[in-house]
Amino acid sequence: MDIIKAQDLSFDYIRRDEEGNVEGTTRAVNHVSLSVSQGDFVAILGHNGSGKSTFAKHLNAILMPTEGTVWVDGMDTREEAKIWDIRQEAGMVFQNPDNQIIGQVVEEDVGFGPENMGVPTKEIWERVEESLKAVGMYEYRKYSPNKLSGGQKQRVSIAGVLAMHPKCIVLDEPTAMLDPSGRREVIRAVRALNMVEHVTVILITHYMEEIIHADHVFVMDVGKVAMHGTPKEVFSRVEELKALRLGVPEVTQLAWELKQSGVNLPEGILTVEELTEALLQCRG
């Protein structure tokens, strides 16, 4: 079952002059067709301006297609009557943790979504508890969000989405503003959601090493899907990725450079374990 399906999706940003007349359009997403199966961990890569965030904003109806169609769990995002159902099923987490938290206390913030949906009070508290536990923030439920680190705030944001019981969570560069431990915490929480809670994950990032465990990787360029495959397949194409202003995980880069220097290594090495194994085999 496809939780997300985009068919021939295009989106134009419209530029207007001071009087509001249309000056021109910029095509940010250009005839994208892709689908995501329920329970998958999908990564979207692409340089700044490649169209990945514009695409992501279609997945919970923040933006509407200029052409083509997006379905979330079978619902066309252009159907106005379905908009709240769509937003409940596909939650979004953004880059800046400070822009997403509104509550004075962690548990209130997490309860805001379900409360807004009209969930009965008793169930709100159950959902708050399970969501905070899922991201490892339950001990902090009585804290003021401004006492938390960046990674903790992002995990609270994720819990806030989880409490709405979405089938899918879209994260647009959730670690861009975090320190190394914050990044680790958030990625660990996201992977746990996918593996334990079976929530579909769509992760947009500029950090290549965060997505080596993804099921599928889509690489965007000039509004189109330029590459698609498993992490191993995509990260085997080092030179193509560099031409798209991207890179590969550090381990993959090191393996690739060693291969260029004549060491007999397989393509698309993604983890330290794989590299270690392969090098020890070279040693014979």
Partner 1 sequence: MKKEPAGNHKETMEIRLEHVNYIYGGDTELAVHALDDVNITLPAGQFIGLIGHTGSGKSTLVQHLNGLLKPTSGRIYCDGEDICAKDYNMKKLRQKVGLVFQYPEHQLFEADVLSDVCFGPKNLGFSKEEAEAKAKAALLQVGLSEEYFDQSPFDLSGGQKRRVAIAGVLAMDPEVLILDEPTAGLDPKGREEILNLIRKLKEERGITVVLVSHSMDDVANYVERIIVVNHGRIMFDDAPRKVFTHVEELENMGLAAPQVTYIMKALAEKGAAVDTSAITLEEAKQSILEWVKGNKA
Residues that bind partner 1 (CB under 8 A): 46-49, 95, 149-151, 173, 176-183, 206, 208-209, 242, 245-247, 249-251, 253-254, 257-258, 261, 263, 272-273, 275-276, 279-280, 282-284
Helix (H) or strand (E) holding 193: helix 180-196
CB of 161 to partner 1, least distance (A): 21
- Spell out the residues 6+ positions from residue 283 whose beta carbon is closer than 8 angstroms to its own: none
Query: Residue 124 or 219: which CB sits closer to partner 1?
Result: 219
CA angle 237, 238, 240 (to 5 degrees): 70
Of 221, 212, 206, give the one whose Cα is nearest residue 251: 212
Query: Residue 58 or 153: which CB sits closer to partner 1?
Result: 153
Query: Residue 123 or 277: which CB sits closer to partner 1?
Result: 277
- Spell out the residues 6+ positions from residue 158 whose beta carbon is closer than 8 angstroms to its own: 93, 135, 169, 171, 174, 186, 189, 190, 193
CB of 258 to partner 1, least distance (A): 6
Query: Residue 150 or 166: which CB sits closer to partner 1?
Result: 150
Query: Residue 142 or 283: which CB sits closer to partner 1?
Result: 283
CB of 146 to partner 1, least distance (A): 11
CB of 21 to partner 1, least distance (A): 17
CB of 111 to partner 1, least distance (A): 25
Residue 27, number of CB atoms within 10 A of its CB = 17
Return d(Cα 162, Cα 110) in angstroms, integer.
9
Q: Which pair of structure tokens corresponds to residue 56?
A: 């992501």
